Structure 1
Amino acid sequence: MASFEIHRATKRRAKLRLGMSGPAGSGKTYSALMIASGLGGRIGMIDTEHGSGDLYADLLPEGYDVLTLSPPYTPARYIEAIHALEDIGVQTIIIDSLTHAWSGEGGSLDRQGKIADKSGNSWQAWRQVTPEHNALVEAILQSRCHIIATMRAKTEYVQEKDERTGKQVVRKVGLAPIMRDGIEYEFTTFFELDVQHQAYVGKDRTRLFDGQIFRPDPETGRNLASWLNAGVDGERAGNAMTPDQKTAMADAINRAESQDDLYRAFAVAYRVANSLHDQDALAELTALKDQRKALLEPHPQQFGMAA
């Protein structure tokens, strides 16, 4: 009889695995940098987009490092680039973009086609190429850094009526990412961006962004960091937030500038405190939330009404 390990489900601290896809102009690089800034720590970017990584050099006060990756875009070279950034001590790696490892020069599709042309056996070519691609996915999943991977999306143009003018307009939309089918399932969270730079969540194991459409910013990264840092560290068990966790969540609540911001910040705090069964922290953060909510609610005097 087979022997299986069975254990009580326990949330552990984790590193971010975030995928983002979108058509040209949707702001994938910018959004990735904004989120990485909120995660904190040193940022490194693998740039396959012909120098686009340097275009935002003045965006982050803390700056970031760029590793320019030129053809051939083989999975093996991506893996080497990931390890190179790990070795210099970055905490977050942005892969901009992962699409080239699939459809770029020297990528998996290119290699498969060349091997099939030479051997005359397409199936045999995939048997050689697939393990190489799987090794890249595994390097992303096993990295000791946070990983944010951008992907180009197939683009389609649709005609629709503008609600303001009543005229027919043409709008560019992004479809599936240009990558191996099912790549979304390898990530903790997957954002789909549109040309208005708004993110729709296609998949989200964190449950932080359910049903939301939003513009990614540093607060997105801070909320993700709070969720990722909740839970036990390795084999260590505990039932209370660390002081740093509580401070970060309290700061996020106090920084909220709208009811939506407050909802997102408190949702993170609630889930972390609840998962740790830390009722004292939950009560403290709930009180902070209520105080901030009272400050954000409009007062009758604002509308010329009697108090």
Structure 2
Amino acid sequence: MAFQKAVRKRAKARIGICGPAGSGKTMSALKLAFGIVGPGGRIAVLDTENESASLYAHLGDYDVDVIKPPFTVEKYISGIREAEKLGYDLIIIDSLSHAWAGTGGILEFVDARTESAKGNKFAGWREATPKHNSLVDAMLQSPMHVIATMRSKTEYILVEDEKGKKVPKKVGMAPVQREGMDYEFSLVFDVDQERHIATSSKDRTEIFDGFFGKLTEEHGRSIQTWLDSGEAAQQPTAEPEQQLPAGPKFITKNQVKELEEIIKNVGADRGKFLAYLGVKKLEEIPAEKMTSAKKALDAKTKKGDSATGNVTDITSALTARRIPFETKEEAGEVHAKPSYQDTASKEFLKTKGFRWQPSDKVWVYKMAA
């Protein structure tokens, strides 16, 4: 192994488009796609939005594969692999949010596993995290360009109109996806519902710094020009890279992510956990200790039936589903405030023992005394 001068290589597009329902995510994705692949390129669309992708057939040529419930990770990966096998240049995943919060998605998978494990949430995330990581890997390692749309939760805010009156305005909030998903993309656009205006919340290309406008094919062509401006990747040499003979084999990056998720969800003390394994950081855990590490965290979830542990489970679930909440320690309560139209979150709160409090317009969970 040796350090080399940093050089940007040619790459495939990895683009995320976020926005509430009706903001124009699908149309924006298609326009970018046409610009990226050019007139001779082939575009595939994985449609989870009730066949809505076909409504834009007048924009150009593309093929659609409809995914129906349950929206399992396996269906998404199968669709990506099939598009690769058929030689498509670009795939649009519309929408990626169903794989997380839709029927049969990751959150529902975790709830089912938790219930079957008698409330042990770790049991659910232990299986769900590798499943989710496999979908991320399928997108990042694909030889195709990838554009993924993600729904944003909606909320109403009061703004002044041209007459100075306060009026409600519907705005998009965080995308319905695993926290940190935007790190996986090179470009992320947030699209406004009212005027379909896009802004860039992440831009490694530096093309869209300060951008504010509607996405067009021309923007797609700009992205393709940037992608092609990198140096061609070197062909692998005939002699395979040798592994270093010295030193222990450590857990993989995906296993590190898995442990990070488990530590967060069970509320483990990171310092004590690392000390127990005799390492200073997760990346130093030997591969052969992965099983014992997970067992140690699993054991934590089975210690007692304290109110604190229960509240930790509640707040972890709220965080995972991106439901805004506030802990009122003096009152012994957790207050959750899902958006007005988020019916799924309201039903979830009911199953967790929350009760609607009309006077304060908030869902309340009473901690055990």
Partner SS for 1:89: coil
Q: Which residue of 1 aligns with 2:314?
A: none
Q: Which residue of 2 aligns with 1:6?
A: 3
User: What is the Cα deviation at residue 168 of structure 1?
Assistant: 2.2
**Distance in 2, Cα, partners of 1:222 & 1:154:** 30
Q: Does 1:53 align with 2:50?
A: no
User: What is the Cα deviation at residue 184 of structure 1?
Assistant: 0.4
AA partner of residue 12 (structure 1): K
**Distance in 1, Cα, partners of 2:201 & 2:67:** 28
**Distance in 1, Cα, partners of 2:69 & 2:62:** 23
Encode CA deviations 1:263-284: one digit per residue, 9 max, x unaligned. xxxxxxxxxxxxxxxxxxxxxx
**Distance in 2, Cα, partners of 1:5 & 1:80:** 37
Match of residue 112, structure 2, among 111, 114, 138: 114
Encode CA deviations 1:173-227: one digit per residue, 9 max, x unaligned. 0010000000000000100111111111111111111112111000110000000
Which blocks of at least 5 consecutive residues in structure 1 are unaligned?
237-307
**Distance in 1, Cα, partners of 2:117 & 2:128:** 13
Q: Which residue of 2 aligns with 1:296?
A: none
User: What is the Cα deviation at residue 110 of structure 1?
Assistant: 0.5
AA partner of residue 173 (structure 1): V
Q: Which residue of 2 aligns with 1:208?
A: 207
Partner SS for 2:58: coil
**Structure 2 counterparts to residues 69-88 of structure 1, below 5 A:** 69-88=67-86
User: What is the Cα deviation at residue 228 of structure 1?
Assistant: 0.5
User: What is the Cα deviation at residue 167 of structure 1?
Assistant: 2.5
Identity %: 47
Q: Which residue of 2 aligns with 1:141?
A: 140
User: What is the Cα deviation at residue 96 of structure 1?
Assistant: 0.1
Encode CA deviations 1:74-99: one digit per residue, 9 max, x unaligned. 11110000011111111110000000
TM-score normalised by structure 2 residue count: 0.61
Encode CA deviations 1:210-267: one digit per residue, 9 max, x unaligned. 112111000110000000111211117xxxxxxxxxxxxxxxxxxxxxxxxxxxxxxx
RCO comparison, higher one (Cα < 8 Å, 6+): 1
Q: Does 1:98 align with 2:96?
A: yes
**Distance in 1, Cα, partners of 2:152 & 2:2:** 40
AA partner of residue 50 (structure 1): N
Encode CA deviations 1:130-158: one digit per residue, 9 max, x unaligned. 00000000000000000000000010011
AA partner of residue 24 (structure 2): G
Match of residue 87, structure 2, among 68, 86, 89: 89
**Distance in 2, Cα, partners of 1:187 & 1:149:** 9
**Distance in 2, Cα, partners of 1:58 & 1:169:** 36
**Distance in 1, Cα, partners of 2:227 & 2:27:** 22
Q: Which residue of 2 aligns with 1:231?
A: 230
**Structure 2 counterparts to residues 264-279 of structure 1, below 5 A:** none
**Distance in 2, Cα, partners of 1:134 & 1:5:** 29
AA partner of residue 35 (structure 2): G
**Distance in 1, Cα, partners of 2:73 & 2:2:** 33
User: What is the Cα deviation at residue 5 of structure 1?
Assistant: 3.4
Q: Which residue of 2 aligns with 1:184?
A: 182
Partner SS for 1:57: helix
Q: Which residue of 1 aligns with 2:130?
A: 131
**Distance in 1, Cα, partners of 2:53 & 2:82:** 17
Match of residue 169, structure 2, among 168, 171, 177: 171
User: What is the Cα deviation at residue 22 of structure 1?
Assistant: 0.2
**Structure 2 counterparts to residues 282-293 of structure 1, below 5 A:** none
**Distance in 1, Cα, partners of 2:142 & 2:116:** 35
**Distance in 2, Cα, partners of 1:105 & 1:5:** 47
Q: Which residue of 1 aligns with 2:26?
A: 29
Partner SS for 1:58: helix
Q: Give the superposed CA RMSD.
A: 1.0
**Distance in 2, Cα, partners of 1:69 & 1:203:** 28
**Distance in 1, Cα, partners of 2:19 & 2:146:** 17
User: What is the Cα deviation at residue 53 of structure 1?
Assistant: 1.1
AA partner of residue 202 (structure 2): K
TM-score normalised by structure 1 residue count: 0.73
**Distance in 2, Cα, partners of 1:159 & 1:22:** 19
**Number of residue pairs matched?**
230
Encode CA deviations 1:11-68: one digit per residue, 9 max, x unaligned. 11000000011011110000000000101211110000001011111122xx100010
AA partner of residue 223 (structure 1): S
